[in-house]
Amino acid sequence: MYKSLIRATATFGAAALLATTAFAGDLIINFDDPNPKPKAGFEAAVEKFKAANPDINVTVNINDREAHKTAIRNFLSADAPDITSWYPGNRMAPFVNAGQFEDISDLWASDPNLSTSFEAIKPTMTIDGKQWGVPYSYYQWGIYYRKDIFDKMGIAEPKTWDELLAASKKLKEGGVTPITIGTKFLWTAAGVFDYLNLRTNGYEVHNDLTAGKIKYTDPRIKEVFVKWKELMDAGGFVENHATMSWQDALAPFVKGEAAMYVMGNFAVASMKDAGLTEDQIDFFQFPEITPGLPRAEEAPADALFIPAKAKNKEDARKFLAFMAQPEIQSEWNKTIGQLPPNSKAAVGDDKFIQEGFATVSTASGLAQFYDRDAPAEMAKAGMEGFQEFMIKPDRLDKILERLDKVQAKVYK
Amino acid sequence: MSVTALPETSVPGSMVDNRSWYQRNRLRVAPWLFLAPAIIFFTIYVIAPIFQSIWTSFFEWNGLNNADGTSSAKWIGLGNYVELLDDEDFYTSLYNNVLWLVLYLLAVPAGLFIALFLNQTVTGMRIYKSLFFFPFVISQVVVGLIFSWFYNPNFGIVGEVWRFFGAAPPSILGDEDLVTYGIIFAGLWPQIAYCMILYLTGLNNVSPDQVEAGRLDHAKGWKMLWYVILPQLKPATFIAVVVTVIGALRSFDMIAIMTQGGPYGSSNVLSYYMFEQALSEFGFRMGYGSAIATVLFFIMLFFISYFLWSMYQDEKR
Amino acid sequence: MFPTPIEKSSPGIQTTYKVFLPIALFIWLLPLLAIFMTSVRSAGDINAGNVFGWPTSFQMLQNYVAVFTESEATTYFLNSLKITIPTVILSVAMACLAGYALAIYRFKAALPLFFIFVAGNFVPFQILMVPVRQLSVETGLYNTVTGLVLFHAAFQTGFCTLFMRNFIKALPFELIESARIEGVGEFRIFWHLVLPLVRPAIAALAVLIFTFIWNDYFWATVLTNGEASKPITAAMKALNGQFVSRWHLVSAASLLAAVPPVVMFFLMQKHFIAGLTLGATKG
């Protein structure tokens, strides 16, 4: 009643001023994943919204993911859509601070679904005590491995650090490189770093480091690299990783030349595309390093935001509330093979999604990923440092000192 | 002239030029009309941006506007330049730029060598010449992709050759000590073709009389080349050096395609480093990027001034 | 002629030369041949590591068609044409006008202006990047074909003007003088007298600019995103990501992207080289 009253007033006001588009209820959405499945999942959700709101005229623009990352800086001020996809955590901070995103705390407070079913993920959507977007999906990270190779060599899923090292040595002796990785685009190395850090020092240290409260030369962070070195010495990572993208690095995994991959769940689709069957691949949580430390996980989320300059904020809020509903999130994430942030939504029955859900729903904390939790400039320098360490481990001290210098500059 | 020279008492109108203003001044006005479109375009897109960039380099700006449309840039004076002085990546880029400049210039003698080799009139020579020139026509992006594949230690030709000799193949694009050389080598391929075509044209115009005169003086081989031919090829050499120096400082496409400046920034050059700082996923430091661009601009300006000075000497003659 | 024509050497040397020539060419074009051989292989060959030996089967047509059916390559190619052709027309037209003015009229600003055009042609792209991008965003030209065309035309005007001015300067000035004495208007002189004479220069510039713009990567990256206006050269990177580990498709796409400038070059070789070597024989 109240809402329709506002709506009536708004339309009346607009009509009185000018016969504008406010009547038609145009809603423009910029989305950022043109790959077949993500596109299909998103479009199906939009179709349902259209069916439920026939009076709203929805237009969707789908951009390439990398292109979207730079384009958003322009369209937010020059040609704002009513909804845009973006990332939570520190990645949304520049836009929130510049006043480019709409504060939607009101929606989080008033919508019964949003206010009750998103407790776990709410902190990552929050800056200055206000909420700025609605998450539609997230996914687990962990170690994907060649089950057939493990079985053949008689290796069980490692639960502890020592087991992981032992498994690596065994693989190496059998002529298989333990872990594949492609660091050309840097972020894959951050996944390894984050897990070693989360398992060695825990969630608080991850957050303090990315918030600039701990130095890189801190003994706790140095310890992370000691562990990393142990892993490298136990047989370690594929060679030439600096020239490979994460997809290139699938090749040794598919060929059976490497047996493990520290990755996000999106990689499963590519593994299957490359010819591996469901029986050949499996997943385990990154093993425990410091015994008894509460287990935190990497679980980056994708979200939808309203630009401050959106023209149709009312329908945009309606859209966000709609996309937060459990049925919509279940369906959408089933299509894209990821996890719904809504705790009441059903999780897909794919084995990796099930394992992923078991992993993240029992985690003591969820990290967004190094390059989303740390400010961009720090993230770039940090990930270059990780890559350099993987190639020249003896330069560690120099690298960490350099990162301290960048840190001092970035968080001033 | 004649009108103003008339005494004031003269009868007005009797000497008045009854052509229109344009007709009287057409020789002075016409060039500006002809030039107008080019000047307007060039000013908007080339001249003005140079000054805007230099201006931007005194600000800290992430490229975002505030919600009210005003720019969020903050004046920091020489802050960006001070930061540059203490930036290891900047020095790496600068060093690589010098490497590029020096090694890229090898394209000039190499181009001359191939031109001398091809300057014959055997049947089918024209086709040979075009095919040798071929690499220049292909975009640097494609050349970069070709060579990335070529260098790949796992399935590229370099890997095959090394394995043939029983050695472990180097990871050229993944090794900080090799990567820049690898990219420059790829870049030389089209650039040598360019220099070659310049010299082939130059050789075409070498005066046969002087070659004959040289022969009578018993000049042969290298001596002939050095004392008789090269002086006549001076214009070709000049242009070859100009385009090679500019090409070396502009190198961007290959780095973007082959390594993105990696591993860990070791193949960066100023042009790519600027882009990375100002526009990449982790960049958006418009002011800092502009400061790098300004440094690059002044390095280039040094060469441009020299070229212009040479051209000016030519114009005077 | 230098070096001494080979016909004057001993038959032994002549034969050696003729044998060595194709070998040299083979080595020179080895990277290209290698990528061509890759582009006709089957996916099976690539995965089995047979990238060096003789292909087990030739799939040229299949691979090249796949580039178009499995990606937006058609759109990218069309975008390239939509960007390249108007740029050529616009920049050559402006350069004809400006070059004419700088070559024919004697006025004080002529030489400084000429040098500004030349210098502008040499500046690093990076010094223009931030403001040009900002300008495009503010005028709504960001991510449009028009935005790229306007910028390219403006930037290429520098080089084209240098070229045209020198070409027109070499024309006999008396022709223009006599036309003026007969009272022919300035624009009519340009249009009816000079333009027909500079046709070879226009042809040379057109092929050169076509190649430069077709091969542009930097500005396409800076001024576009998404598929609506991205040209093929800049899209190669996206295709590279899309065809990951499918090197036969990556190489087929690379070769396809190179086709138009190569065709242009072989059709207009004389003009192309005349354009590139401008000044190489002067003095």
Calculate the average pLDDT of chain A.
88
Distance CA B278, CA C127 (A): 11
What average pLDDT does this structure show over A247-265?
Answer: 91
pLDDT digits (tens, 9 = 90+) for B82-111: 999 989 899 999 999 999 999 999 999 999
pLDDT digits (tens, 9 = 90+) for B256-272: 999 999 899 999 999 99
The shortest CB-CB distance from C29 to any of B116, B131, B197 is to: B131
* Cβ <8 Å between B28 and C211: no
Give, for A230, the enclosing helix (H) or strand (E).
helix A219-233
pLDDT digits (tens, 9 = 90+) for B45-71: 999 999 999 999 999 998 877 767 677
pLDDT at C1: 66
Which two three-digit tokens encode residue C250? 């990556």
Residue B295 class from Cβ within 10 Å (0-12 exposed, 13-18 middle, 19+ buried)? buried
pTM of the predicted protein model: 0.87
Where residue C226 falls (left for φ over 0; alpha for ψ -120 to 50; beta otherwise) is: left
Confirm or reject contact between A63 and chain C (CB < 8 A). Answer: yes
What average pLDDT does this structure show over B7-36?
Answer: 70
Domain A2-138+301-361: give its CATH superfamily: Periplasmic binding protein-like II (3.40.190.10)
Displacement of CA C279 from its chain's centroid (Å): 19
Contact C213, C81 (CB under 8 A): no
Q: Which residues contact A397 (CB under 8 A, 6 or more apart)?
A: A217
Chains touching C by CB (3 or more pairs below 8 Å): A, B
CA nearest to B69 within chain A: A77
Q: What are phi and psi of A195, to 5 degrees?
A: -65, -45
* Cβ <8 Å between A70 and B171: no
* Cβ <8 Å between A240 and B264: no
Which two three-digit tokens encode residue C186? 């300035």
User: Which residue's entry shows tokens 């790098």?
Assistant: B292
For residue A241, the distance in angstroms to the closest alpha carbon of chain C comes to 14
pLDDT at A209: 95
CATH match for B87-284 among 1.10.3720.10, 1.20.140.10, 3.40.120.10, 3.40.630.10: 1.10.3720.10
* Cβ <8 Å between B282 and A241: no
For A12-21, A81-90, A269-278, which range has the lowest pLDDT when averaged over its residues? A12-21
* Per-residue confidence band for A21, with pLDDT thresholds at 50, 70 and 90: very low
CA nearest to C265 within chain B: B137
Residue A224 class from Cβ within 10 Å (0-12 exposed, 13-18 middle, 19+ buried)? buried
Alpha-carbon distances, residue C283 vs B109, B233, C200 (angstroms) = 21, 10, 21
pLDDT greater than 70 at residue B13? no
User: Which residue's entry shows tokens 């349902």?
Assistant: A48
pLDDT at B4: 40
Residue C6 amino acid letter: I
> Which chain B residues are within 8 Å of A184, Cβ to Cβ?
259-260, 262
Percent of chain C with pLDDT over 90: 44
Distance CA A218, CA A400 (A): 9
* Cβ <8 Å between C225 and A78: no
Displacement of CA B59 from its chain's centroid (Å): 28
pLDDT at C245: 65
Determine which of C70, C133, C137 to mutate to test the interface with A (most A C-beta atoms within 10 Å): C137
Q: Answer yes or no: same fold for A2-138+301-361 and A141-298+375-410.
A: yes
Which two three-digit tokens encode residue B53? 């960039």
What average pLDDT does this structure show over A129-150?
Answer: 94
Higher pLDDT, C249 or B15: C249
Contact A197, A290 (CB under 8 A): no
Residue B212 amino acid letter: E
DSSP per residue, C106-151: --TTHHHHHHHHHHHHHS-THHHHHHHHHHHHHTT-TTSHHHHHHH
Residue extents of the structural domains in chain B: 87-284
pLDDT greater than 50 at residue A86? yes
pLDDT at B10: 43
Contact C186, B30 (CB under 8 A): yes
* Cβ <8 Å between A63 and C226: yes
Give, for A305, the enclosing helix (H) or strand (E).
strand A301-305
pLDDT digits (tens, 9 = 90+) for B168-184: 888 899 999 999 999 99
pLDDT greater than 60 at residue C61? yes
Give, for C10, the enclosing helix (H) or strand (E).
none
For residue A83, the distance in angstroms to the closest alpha carbon of chain C comes to 18
User: Which residue's entry shows tokens 């090292």?
Assistant: A165
CA nearest to B301 within chain C: C123
* Per-residue confidence band for C51, with pLDDT thresholds at 50, 70 and 90: low
pLDDT greater than 70 at residue A90? yes
Q: Which residues contact B5 (CB under 8 A, 6 or more apart)?
A: none
Size of interface A-B (CB pairs under 8 A): 82
What average pLDDT does this structure show over A53-69?
Answer: 84
Q: Which of A193-197, A332-336, A373-377, C169-173 has the highest mean pLDDT?
A: A193-197
pLDDT at B118: 93
Which two three-digit tokens encode residue C108? 């004080």
Contact B26, C187 (CB under 8 A): no
- Rg for chain C (alpha carbons), in Å? 24
Which two three-digit tokens encode residue A223? 């310890």
What ipTM does the predicted assembly reach?
0.90
> Which chain B residues are within 8 Å of A99, Cβ to Cβ?
66-68
Distance CA A125, CA C16 (A): 75
pLDDT digits (tens, 9 = 90+) for C151-184: 999 999 999 999 999 899 988 888 888 998 888 8
* Cβ <8 Å between C143 and A78: no
Residues 184-213 of C with CB under 8 A from B: 185-187, 190, 211
Residue extents of the structural domains in chain A: 2-138+301-361, 141-298+375-410
pLDDT digits (tens, 9 = 90+) for A197-241: 999 999 999 999 998 999 999 999 999 999 999 999 998 899 889
Calculate the average pLDDT of chain C.
87
Contact A53, A24 (CB under 8 A): no
Bridge partner list, B59: B75
Q: Which residues contact C268 (CB under 8 A, 6 or more apart)?
A: C203, C207
Of B297, B283, B296, B256, the closest CA to residue B63 belongs to: B283
The shortest CB-CB distance from A78 to any of C138, C225, C226 is to: C138
pLDDT digits (tens, 9 = 90+) for B229-250: 899 899 899 999 999 999 999 9
* Per-residue confidence band for A67, with pLDDT thresholds at 50, 70 and 90: confident
Q: Which domains occur in chain C, in start order?
A: 6-66 (no CATH), 69-276 (1.10.3720.10)
Of C54, C138, C205, C256, the closest CA to residue B63 belongs to: C138
pLDDT at A133: 95
Spell out which chain C residues touch chain A, with contact meaning CB-CB distance below 8 angstroms: 47, 137-138, 140, 142-143, 225-227, 238, 241, 244-245
pLDDT digits (tens, 9 = 90+) for A186-196: 999 999 999 99
Q: Which residues of A29-53 are buried (b: 16+ CB within 10 A; e: fewer)?
A: bbbbbbeeebbebbeebbebbeeeb
Contact A393, A222 (CB under 8 A): no
Alpha-helical segments (H) within A281-375: 313-323, 326-336, 351-361, 370-373
* Cβ <8 Å between C101 and B30: yes
pLDDT at B315: 78
pLDDT at A142: 95
* Cβ <8 Å between C142 and A78: yes
State the CB neighbour count (10 A cutoff) for residue C156: 24
The shortest CB-CB distance from A63 to any of C47, C137, C225 is to: C225
pLDDT greater than 50 at residue A17? no
pLDDT at B16: 59
**CATH, range A141-298+375-410:** 3.40.190.10
State the CB neighbour count (10 A cutoff) for residue B54: 16
Bridge partner list, A130: A127
Question: What is the 3 state secondary structure string of chain B?
Answer: CHHHHCCCCCCCCCCCCCCCHHHHHHHHHHHHHHHHHHHHHHHHHHHHHHHHHHHHCCEECCCCECCCCCECCEECCCHHHHHHHCCHHHHHHHHHHHHHHHHHCCHHHHHHHHHHHHCCCCCCHHHHHHHHHHHHHCCHHHHHHHHHHHHCCCCCHHHHHHHHCCCCCCCHHHCCCCHHHHHHHHHHHHHHHHHHHHHHHHHHCCCHHHHHHHHHCCCCHHHHHHHHHHHHCHHHHHHHHHHHHHHHHHCCHHHHHHCCCCCCCCCCCHHHHHHHHHHCCCCCCHHHHHHHHHHHHHHHHHHHHHHHHHHHHHHHC
* Cβ <8 Å between A384 and B279: no
pLDDT at A52: 93
pLDDT greater than 80 at residue C224? yes
* Cβ <8 Å between B63 and A73: yes
Determine which of A30, A62, A64 to mutate to test the interface with C (most C C-beta atoms within 10 Å): A64
Distance CA A36, CA A336 (A): 9
pLDDT greater than 70 at residue A13? no
